[in-house]
Amino acid sequence: MYKKTKISKITSLVLSAVITGLFGLTAYYDSKIPDSFYVEKGKELELCGYPAVRESETVNAFAVAERVYPGTKEVSLSLFGIIPIKSVEVQCKEAPTLIASGEPFGIKLLMDGVMVINLESINSNGQKICPAKEAGIKKGDIIKYINNTPVTSNSEIQHIINESNGNEAEVIVNRSGYEFTAKLKPVYSEEKKGYFAGMWVRDSTAGIGTVTFIDKETGCFAGLGHPICDSDTGELIPISSGQAVEVEISGAVKGRTGSPGQLQGYFVSAEPIGNLNLNNSCGVFGKLSEYGSESVCGREYKMAFKQEIRIGKAHILSTVSGSEPKEYEIEIAEIESNSEKTTKNMVIHITDKELLEKTGGIVQGMSGSPIIQNGKLIGAVTHVFVDDSSSGYAIFAENMVSYLKR
């Protein structure tokens, strides 16, 4: 009798632990699984990118309430077909076929306005005054207009300020997407013999990145996988216009712990190969010119939706010398499908010995290098870990494609 009671208690404890574990797993998936997915017509929703789901036979772990998606459907997911997880929206969408590039390109951007990169006090009548600060202007703000005149360079601002004779000026300022009017009263500097606003501004920037993919039909392309931000303020740079130019990579500074490396290169020609029209959280986007379109080469890949990506082996296309991309092996270590961070969807490790020898892993300039897995374009390299140059973040191709003008 005693033995039966003891066995019964053990069984109850084991059962209780199993149930607790199942509900814990359910809560985990609820937080990890996105609220919406795209699938191609006639295909099932397969959830491949989660820690407990390693293989394509997702039906063994998940029972999907509905299997055909003629339009937009609400689909119920459950664990082992028993414990409900959540309902998700599934929408039919054709995955595009794109040219995976991996070629480097030079970036020349003109800002939409000018960015305030620093403030300074002006010596005036024995006092130190910063008119810009007193007007409420901060580092990182974008100056769009002064007295209804659009400004696009430091020289234009200085001309307007110097001609003001100290009169108050109306300044239209954009701060993180919101515009407001600031009242700026310049002060006279006896030392410099002129009127000043007490702010340093930047009107353009340049750099090197990697083209992720190109739409063969339209010539539209995407690169970087993350925004171009000002080096002093860290703010995203709004662009009025930009150019993509041909680049030759001459070498690389190897990345080390605490010190990210970088590709070294030079602009081959001032002749643009395309125009840039958008700089946002998912990268830079533009369209190739006729000259640029003539040099397009590379293999076409079907794009994978986020749920098709798996933890495991993949490869990147990147150019770390010359102008021709090469294929390098990587390992996808983590997938964050439900992350609010649009550019940090995957954690990747460089495993290719040749690339590790050349660069130490991921270096600046490799951002945008396309990632291929199971014959599909799944994303692009975006960031390097400062404490481990062999590892970094990557973005889903799906996020970048949503901004491609097609």
Chain centroid to CA 78: how far? 32
Q: In whole angstroms, what is the distance from residue 230 CA to residue 209 CA?
A: 15
Contact 240, 152 (CB under 8 A): yes
391 classed as catalytic: no
Q: In the numeric block, which tokens belong to residue 98? A: 């794109």
Distances (CA, A) of 395 to 26, 117, 222, 226: 26, 29, 12, 8
Residue 369 phi, psi dihedral angles, 5° rounding: -55, 120
Q: In the numeric block, which tokens belong to residue 153? A: 């360079």
Residue 281 phi, psi dihedral angles, 5° rounding: -60, -20
* Among candidate residues 103, 106, 98, the one with its CA nearest the CA of residue 318: 103
Q: In whole angstroms, what is the distance from residue 70 CA to residue 91 CA?
A: 8
∠ CA 405-240-282 to the nearest 5 degrees? Answer: 45
* Among candidate residues 333, 49, 362, the one with its CA nearest the CA of residue 225: 362
* Among candidate residues 369, 109, 107, 365, the one with its CA nearest the CA of residue 245: 107
- Helix (H) / strand (E) element for 203: namely strand 199-214
Q: In whole angstroms, what is the distance from residue 99 CA to residue 214 CA?
A: 5
- Catalytic residue of the set 112, 124, 215, 226: 226
226 classed as catalytic: yes
- Catalytic residue of the set 352, 369, 389, 390: 352
369 classed as catalytic: no
* Among candidate residues 350, 382, 137, 349, the one with its CA nearest the CA of residue 282: 382
Report which residue type is found at 349: H
Please list the active-site residues: 226, 352, 367
